[in-house]
Structure 1
Amino acid sequence: MIYLIHENNNALKVLNSEFVEVPFSIDASITKTLFKIAEAFPNDTIIWCHQTYQAFINSSVLNAIFHHQNILASYSVSHKYYIPDSIGYIDQSVFLNVKKDVTYPTWLMSSDVGGVSTGLLNSVAKSLNHTDAFEYFLNSLAKAGMIQGVFCYSEPALLNQNVQPIVETKQASNIQLFKFVKEHYKWVWVYMLAFCFAIYERKLKIIPLINTFFQKRLLLSLKEFDYQSKNIVVTKKEIDVIIPTIGRTTYLHDVLKDLATQSVLPKNVIIIEQNPLPDSVSELDFITTENWPFNIKHTFTNQTGVCNARNLALNQIESEWVFLNDDDNRFNKNLIESVFKTINKFDVLAITTAYLQENESLLFTKMHQTGIFGSGNSFVKASCLKNIRFDMALEFGYGEDFDFGMQLRNEGVDVVYCPYIRITHLKAPFGGFRTEVKQLWDNNAVQPKPSPTIMYTFLKHYTKKQLLNYKLVLFLRLIKKESIFNYWSFYKNFQKKWQASIFWAKKL
């Protein structure tokens, strides 16, 4: 472990793992010094820290935090970041609204304290600008690296006590912000950012916008490491599978057959069968008439809804791990074994697999932190689910998967997408909503837009500026279908529908 201590945007000293200063040719630039250290010590980890917080570094947990080479973590004591919250005008990802007291996935980095492997730095040395200001460089590395498989976190455990903010966090100027957007997003978002400033803050950002004409998109070349996490997260290869089902007996039987041939068998398969008809009985006779190499827990209920069904199943789990499955999935015999190997390799607590329909192409090919969560294709450590359930306010609506994933992240559980573990989703044409569901707002003269359940999740998990961005993008997408002579009327109706959505979302 090597420590780089800095202050006032200057590198001050380099310390060894015993916090003893070592002779090293320090450049005034923190960024340049970081790369010089990485070149001199290619198989180590660098911890940077502002001199003010040096005494609070929690050295006892650093090996556990940086347990493989692709981890980049930092912590902002003030809970403010170099990239201002106006980035929410063009970024709707889950990585912006950082939960401060848990390990939270985010590309927002801080110079207060943090760390990165020298191997990772050396692998990107030719892709990044060594003359960038330190804060800009850290955020650039994280933003460009996250989709390439760099695991980026806000990590409060880097400091060993609740330190009060002493150092002021300097935020990017408008020119730096627009430059960052041009380098890390599609070019159209620079204009959207300027538009949002004009619409919502009544500020014209002409000079920062013009300055981006000379900027290019950053292309990060990242070496793929063959590494193994130092941490152990699978102590028992025991897993329970939960499956909600309604009217899909043939498909469900195929799923059970796939589970029965697994090289690592599940301990329990928890089936929640739904049928809204009052005098109905179970259609799943094969549960008892056939022999299965695992225990089947079967619950029959007249109450429909996937949120309720999955919650009933979650209340019955016994094993160390949980597979949130669906009743129209297909997968190979090595699915569970591959998941356990991946979990141990990367030390992750929640994995969402590739989930393709037949003949559908894979878009993302690298394992990375993700903003999605699939309730039909995810594996989670059971201990992480003690305080988490599907939100019943979203029953028969949209967004329950997204909300569940956000609950995990807010508990300090990162959700990782794994493209090389694949489940085929057959998208069975029947099942689902078997009876007409009446929503609270169905009879209103003004129908809400977007769906109140979508608005509910946005109000619950997104920043204010992200919500404004969503509103503007939705407006622009819908107005394209309108005649230019109808724009004013459309605008007034859109505002009414938006306010109705907020009203019912708060009711939910």
Structure 2
Amino acid sequence: MVVVYHQSNAVTKVVPPSKELLVVDKNKSIAQSILFFASQFPNSKIVWCHDSLEDNLNLNEISSLFHHNKMMLSYGLEQTNFLGNSIGYVEESPFININKKVRYPSWLMSVDVGVIHASVINHISKKIQLDKKFDYFLNSVAKLGMFYGLFCYSEPQLLVNKTTEIKLTKASSYELFRFVKQHYKKRWSVLLFLNLLVFEKRFLILPFLFSWGYRSRKKPLLNFDVIPVQSTLKVVEKKTIDVIIPTIGRKKYLYNVLQDLAKQTHLPVNVIIAEQNPQQGSVSELDYLTSEKWPFTIKHTFTHQAGACNARNVALGQVESEWVFLADDDIVFDPSFFEKAIALAQQYQVSVFTTSCLLVNQKQEYTLIHQSGIFGSGNSFVKTASLQKIRFDEALEFGYGEDTDFGMQLRNQGHDVIYFPDLKITHLKAPMGGFRIKVKQLWENEVLLPKPSPTMMYVLLKHYTTQQLRSYKLVLFLKLLKKESVLNYFNFCNSFQKKWVVSQYWANKIKHEK
């Protein structure tokens, strides 16, 4: 382990594995120094720490926290990051609104303290510019690296005492626009400018124009698969799996799913089926659950209460195994699916992971293992111990956003969601079952129908930052505006704002009546 102490703009001390202080070249930037020491110690972890935090650095725990080499950990004492809250105007992902109390997936890095493996630095050394400003360099490495499979986290356990205050510099408006130009598609620079103008009354035309003089950093392709991963953690122990399947009116499709489960080389222990039929007096149509023999235990619940959120929650209460596979009733997967899933979970030692789930003949776009901003309630594995305080939010029943909300609940409990592209599911998108009834939402009686859906607004208010919510509003406005006549502009603006307010009203009503 090589520990580089600094004062934000210069290295002050370097402690190598031998514990003998190394000579510091004060003419080099911190990024250049880190690159130099990574080349000198290619098999070491490279730690950076502000010199005022030397006594707070949790050196004894770094090896357990940094449990494989394809990681980048950091922690900032301040709630806001180097790029400021305005980065929320261009970032829609769950990686911005960091929960500082737990390990949280984020590319927002801090100069306060952090760790990365020398092999990662050496891999990117010729592909990413060594910025003089250390904050900018760290965030650039993480932003680019995360997209290509570098696992990046805010990790509070890097420090043992978080009461120390450090006065650190924040990005100027010029640096903010430069970062957006170099790391996002061009349209986001324009949207950043518009968001700041509309919501903060800041006319930052010069920073916006100057940013166009910088080249994008997205061109060089990185491939972190060259860095082998074998986690030192022990997350996977028993390897037992229970399967949860909510179903309604899809007897034939569910039977095929059960057949796929029965062919698994690594069999599930329990298959928990929550069958719904809202027609009073109806009974189960799934006769094959008892008329045929299955190589696993089937736990069958029949209810007249429709709704996938309730069905999944009922099923979650019956789980016994170490792992839960959340499945849909119209999917297809090969016999080695569970065996491969457990092997990957062992290799990476993660507690939540999701799979590729494509429609028939749909082309797979994402082929790298990476931290996912998406959680799928029909194609994900979760360790049962991670679900003690988590359930599907039934306020979202018959609406939108329950998958997003469930994924955010997991992240806020310290559980990242990893995407494994080699775990493949085909989603048949079967026709809706014959027992479904159209649910009329309370807001459908409004003179002006809310926009967006109140359930979606509920999720946005629950998990987005103020800036992310504002940006969502502006993007939605612009999308809808394209369909309007220029002559109707003012009427459209007035109507859009009223629909937004109606959506907020019902979202807050959902929250309070939950």
Report the TM-score range of the alignment, normalised by the length of the smaller protein: over 0.9
Matches within 5 A, 1:360-379: 360-379=362-381
Is there any run of 5+ residues in structure 1 with no aligned partner, and where?
Answer: none
Does the CA contact (< 8 Å) of 1:144 and 1:220 recur in 2?
A: no
Does the CA contact (< 8 Å) of 2:30 and 2:132 recur in 1?
A: no
Give the equivalent residue in structure 2 for 1:251.
253
Pick one of 267, 275, 287 that aligns with 1:265. 267
Does the CA contact (< 8 Å) of 1:124 and 1:221 recur in 2?
A: no
How many Å separate the matches in 1 of 2:341 and 2:2?
Answer: 34
How many Å separate the matches in 2 of 1:165 and 1:173?
Answer: 24
Secondary structure, in 3 states, of the residue corresponding to 1:247? coil
Matches within 5 A, 1:57-456: 57-161=57-161, 163-218=162-217, 219-223=219-223, 224=225, 225-431=227-433, 434-456=436-458
How many Å separate the matches in 2 of 1:319 and 1:8?
Answer: 48
Pick one of 458, 470, 479 that aligns with 1:477. 479
Shift of 1:222: 2.5
Aligned amino acid, residue 267 of structure 2 = L
How many Å separate the matches in 2 of 1:20 and 1:502?
Answer: 60
How many Å separate the matches in 1 of 2:164 and 2:461?
Answer: 28
Shift of 1:323: 0.2
Give the equivalent residue in structure 2 for 1:495.
497
Judged with a 3 Å threshold, the aligned counterparts in structure 2 of structure 1 residues 66 and 208 are, in CA distance, closer, same or farther, namely same
How many Å separate the matches in 2 of 1:472 and 1:179?
Answer: 22
Does the CA contact (< 8 Å) of 1:80 and 1:169 recur in 2?
A: no
Shift of 1:21: 2.5
Judged with a 3 Å threshold, the aligned counterparts in structure 2 of structure 1 residues 402 and 174 are, in CA distance, closer, same or farther, namely same
Give the equivalent residue in structure 1 for 2:53.
53
Does the CA contact (< 8 Å) of 2:92 and 2:468 recur in 1?
A: yes
Aligned amino acid, residue 338 of structure 1 = K
Give the equivalent residue in structure 1 for 2:37.
37
How many Å separate the matches in 1 of 2:126 and 2:185?
Answer: 22
Aligned amino acid, residue 178 of structure 2 = K
Does the CA contact (< 8 Å) of 2:8 and 2:168 recur in 1?
A: no
Aligned amino acid, residue 253 of structure 1 = Y
Aligned amino acid, residue 108 of structure 2 = L
Shift of 1:228: 1.2
Shift of 1:337: 0.9
Secondary structure, in 3 states, of the residue corresponding to 1:14? strand
Shift of 1:128: 1.1
Secondary structure, in 3 states, of the residue corresponding to 1:191? helix
Is there any run of 5+ residues in structure 2 with no aligned partner, and where?
Answer: none
Moved more, 204-213 or 147-156: 204-213
How many Å separate the matches in 2 of 1:220 and 1:345?
Answer: 28
Shift of 1:227: 2.4
Does the CA contact (< 8 Å) of 1:352 and 1:378 recur in 2?
A: yes
User: Over aligned residues, Cα RMSD in angstroms?
Assistant: 1.3
Identity value in percent: 50
Q: What whole-Å deviation, never above 9, does each CA across 1:165-184 have from its counterpart, x for those lacking one?
A: 41113210011101100010
Shift of 1:72: 0.5
How many Å separate the matches in 2 of 1:260 and 1:246?
Answer: 21
Q: What whole-Å deviation, never above 9, does each CA across 1:115-164 have from its counterpart, x for those lacking one?
A: 00000000000111113310000000111111100000000010123x21
Moved more, 87-96 or 147-156: 87-96
How many Å separate the matches in 2 of 1:306 and 1:91?
Answer: 30
Shift of 1:347: 1.9
Secondary structure, in 3 states, of the residue corresponding to 1:322? strand
Aligned amino acid, residue 178 of structure 1 = F
Aligned amino acid, residue 49 of structure 1 = C
Shift of 1:200: 1.1
Secondary structure, in 3 states, of the residue corresponding to 2:94? coil
Does the CA contact (< 8 Å) of 1:124 and 1:220 recur in 2?
A: no
Shift of 1:220: 4.0
How many Å separate the matches in 2 of 1:181 and 1:437?
Answer: 42
Shift of 1:276: 0.6
Secondary structure, in 3 states, of the residue corresponding to 1:240? strand
How many Å separate the matches in 2 of 1:262 and 1:404?
Answer: 27
Q: What whole-Å deviation, never above 9, does each CA across 1:198-243 have from its counterpart, x for those lacking one?
A: 1111111111111122111103432422221122211111010000
Q: What whole-Å deviation, never above 9, does each CA across 1:53-91 have from its counterpart, x for those lacking one?
A: 111111222112212121001001122210111111121
Shift of 1:363: 1.2
Q: What whole-Å deviation, never above 9, does each CA across 1:366-400 have from its counterpart, x for those lacking one?
A: 11111110000000110000000000100000000
Moved more, 170-179 or 214-223: 214-223
How many Å separate the matches in 2 of 1:78 and 1:227?
Answer: 31
Give the equivalent residue in structure 2 for 1:465.
467
How many Å separate the matches in 2 of 1:402 and 1:107?
Answer: 19
1:507 aligns with 2:493: no
How many Å separate the matches in 2 of 1:431 and 1:155?
Answer: 45
Secondary structure, in 3 states, of the residue corresponding to 2:212? helix
How many Å separate the matches in 2 of 1:261 and 1:420?
Answer: 19
How many Å separate the matches in 2 of 1:375 and 1:65?
Answer: 28
Does the CA contact (< 8 Å) of 1:11 and 1:27 recur in 2?
A: no
Secondary structure, in 3 states, of the residue corresponding to 2:472? helix
How many Å separate the matches in 2 of 1:8 and 1:59?
Answer: 20
Judged with a 3 Å threshold, the aligned counterparts in structure 2 of structure 1 residues 336 and 26 are, in CA distance, closer, same or farther, namely farther
How many Å separate the matches in 1 of 2:256 and 2:495?
Answer: 48
How many Å separate the matches in 2 of 1:424 and 1:165?
Answer: 51
Secondary structure, in 3 states, of the residue corresponding to 2:6? strand
Aligned amino acid, residue 480 of structure 1 = K
> TM-score by structure 2 length?
0.97
